[in-house]
Amino acid sequence: KQFDLIIKNGAVLTSDGVGRYEIGIKDGKIIQLSPSIDSGLAKEVIDAEGGYVMPGGVDAHVHIAQDFTSGPKGVMGKCADDFLTGSRSAVCGGTTTIIAFAQQNRSDESLLKVVQNYHALSEKSGAYCDYGFHVIITRPEVQMLEKELPKLIEDWGITSCKLFMTYSSMQLSDNQLLDVMYETRKRFMTTMIHAENGDLISWLTNKLEQRGLVEPFYHAISRPPVVEMEATHRAIVLAEMIQNPVLFVHVGSASAAQIIRNAQTRGFPIYAETCPQYLHLTWDDLKRFHSPKCFENSKMICSPPPGPDDSDQEALWAGLRNGTFTIYSSDHCPFRYKDVHGKALGVLQHEQSLGSARCPVDQEHLSEILDDKTGHFKYVPNGCPGVETRLPLLFEYGLKTGRVSPERYVDLVSTAPAKLYGLYPIKGALIPGISDADLVIWYPNDALPSFKLTNANLHHNVDYTPYEGMEFGNWPRYTIVRGQIVWAEGELRASASVGKYLKRGTNQLATRPTNSIASDKRRVATWLYKA
Ligand code: URP
Ligand code: ZN
Ligand code: ZN
Ligand code: ZN
């Protein structure tokens, strides 16, 4: 047969527009896109019945199999998803590519070894979708960077790194940020920045603690918008000086978005990402379980925190429309709630710090403690799960409401992240002869009765979702990874042998810096990189 699979009657949606096309797939690739293809030429046919058919989601920010417990305080939690459960959750929500983090701890001397370790984990468990890595650099030693970055790029196709301006176990000084940016700039790597001023956070945390204000809600009070604003502004100053492309991850406030917008207007290659939690959660959610058991608020703890009310949300929606945000990622950070490595850990640590812990801690003991104690926000691992709900949330609350156009929708969830991280047009596009057959097919309008989401609907290894109870009228009906149907009508159809490791290229967006160092002698970078 000429085709392995044909998709008929779809409203084919890309970042360029919508059209009535039929899609022919062979050997994992899209090989034909035309008004009509003869069904007799295919081994298998899917009738999309008029529903949207689009490139599979590319989630460029997921935490998988990361262990934060080796930090100095030893309280930052451990990811509950490995590559198997994390990628399973991804495909059940329409995502066909994930980029996870290979995290260097301060005891790790080699980034290459770190990457090898994460890669070994993914090979061992397998994955339901394709995946790549960013490296998190916490030891920015220049010699190591000079030696290892070229190997990361050539051998592993890792063309991006993440740097932290907060968390004592990861925080870099300005000097260290510059050291990394100087090296990544030479090699056209994209630097991802977690922009929060760690010193402000620890000062505020101590002050709140002295006043006894330690319940999970105060996590938000310990990180007011100036914390994100200052760090964002500072990182932009550093990036402008070095002329290094940076991406601000998980932007949570209107004020940080405005600072980014201003820098973009000056023409610098500054990119930004926002995430579902900042469009859907507010301080009310941090107080949602307020009761003697108010430690349950810790489920919603993430950094930066969501805003106080929906005014930041409106500004972030505007930023998704007007291009301030290049991409929309989940920041899936899968900590379980009732787990000794999870969010309730805050409860235990608080007890221990008061000298009243009923330890040794085990699962059984944990439930007992959870029944009558509240936790201290500073011990709660930061982050929320969301790899599976990312596409459906933006579909329901963005595309369907008209807050973002259908084309912008595809760009934000798939095409732009593929371009930014060097995967386009193999990923993020439907170009015959070139693109992988990674697809999401949605239900036709009103074909799926609307339902209230509950965590039992999801396929991650986490015991809660921040979006419990939210209403959905559509969901990915089919997810196809390189021609294989992995998710169909609510059922997982494939095994975890589908996913492959992706070597990536460099940033393909139009505003990337070029190799020729500007001759403008007022630019510091002109002098720094002179031969
Ligand atoms: O709170 C968050 N965002 N946790 C995940 C780790 C990170 O900083 O992205
Ligand atoms: Zn971060
Ligand atoms: Zn993250
Ligand atoms: Zn105990």
Ligand 1 pocket, Cβ-based, cut-off 6 angstroms: 63, 194, 250, 302-303, 331, 333, 382-383
pLDDT at 510: 64
Return the H-helix or E-strand segment holding 4. strand 3-14
State residue 350's pLDDT score. 53
502 CA to middle of ligand 2, Å? 22
Cβ-based neighbour number of residue 276 at 10 Å: 24
Is pTM, for the whole model, over 0.90? yes
What confidence score (pLDDT) does residue 292 get?
44
Complex confidence, ipTM: 0.92
Report, as ranges of residue numbers, the positions in the chain whose pLDDT lies below 50.
74, 290-294, 356-361, 371-374, 515-517
Q: What DSSP string describes 351-392?
A: HHHTT----S--HHHHHHHHTT----GGGSPP-B--TTTHHH
Helix axes 83-92, 111-125, angle to 10 degrees: 70
pLDDT at residue number 525: 74
Give the pLDDT of residue 372.
40
List the end-to-end C-alpha distance of the chain, in Å, as a whole number.
57
Kind of pairing between the strands at 270-274 and 327-328: parallel
Per-residue pLDDT tens over the stretch 91-101 = 999 999 999 99
Position 293 scores a pLDDT of 44
User: 328 alpha carbon to ligand 3 midpoint, in Å?
Assistant: 12
Whole-angstrom distance, CA of residue 302 vs CA of residue 252: 10
Q: What is the pLDDT of residue 206?
A: 94
pLDDT at 187: 92
Ligand index nearest the alpha carbon of residue 79: 1
Instruction: Let me know: does 108 contact 139? Beta carbons within 8 Å.
Output: yes
Distances from the Cα of 379 to the Cαs of 119, 256, 425, in angstroms? 29, 26, 42
Which two structure tokens, joined as six digits, stand for 515? 């190799």
Each as own residue / partner, the long-range contacts of residues 468-473 (CB below 8 Å, 24 or more positions apart, any chain) are 470/280, 470/393, 471/396, 472/392, 472/396, 473/396, 473/400, 473/446, 473/448
Shortest-distance Cα residue to atom 5 of ligand 1? 383
What's the 196 CA to ligand 1 centre distance in angstroms? 11
